[in-house]
């Protein structure tokens, strides 16, 4: 799922399905969005694979922040 337009189309499609399901079942829209999102995550994770849901690898700034925190907690134990 690298392409932004593919992800946007899937999200809009799922929102449309959730809204139509809420109207048809006379449920809250938020509840139907939660249910549709959970089912979609299960289906995507099962058929496409978990790596499709994982997204990209960690950005380099997160690694730098993690290294800084590790070094600072060694020097300053009260920061834990």
* Burial annotation 42-70 (CB, 10 A radius, 16+ → b, else e): eeeeeeeeeeeeeeeeeeeeeeeeeeeee
> How many domains would you assign to the chain?
1
Instruction: Please tell me the pTM assigned to this model.
Output: 0.57
Dump pLDDT digits (tens) for 12-67.
Answer: 999 999 999 999 999 898 999 999 999 988 888 788 776 666 655 555 555 666 66
Q: Which domain holds residue 33?
A: 4-79
């Amino acid at each position: 799922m690298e392409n932004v337009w593919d992800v946007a189309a899937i999200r809009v499609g799922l929102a449309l399905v959730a809204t139509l399901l809420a109207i048809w079942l006379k449920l809250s829209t938020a509840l139907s969005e939660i249910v549709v999102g959970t089912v979609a995550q299960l289906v995507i994770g099962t058929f496409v694979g978990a790596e499709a849901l994982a997204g990209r690898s960690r950005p380099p700034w997160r690694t730098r922040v993690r290294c800084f925190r590790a070094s600072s907690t060694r020097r300053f134990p009260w920061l834990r």
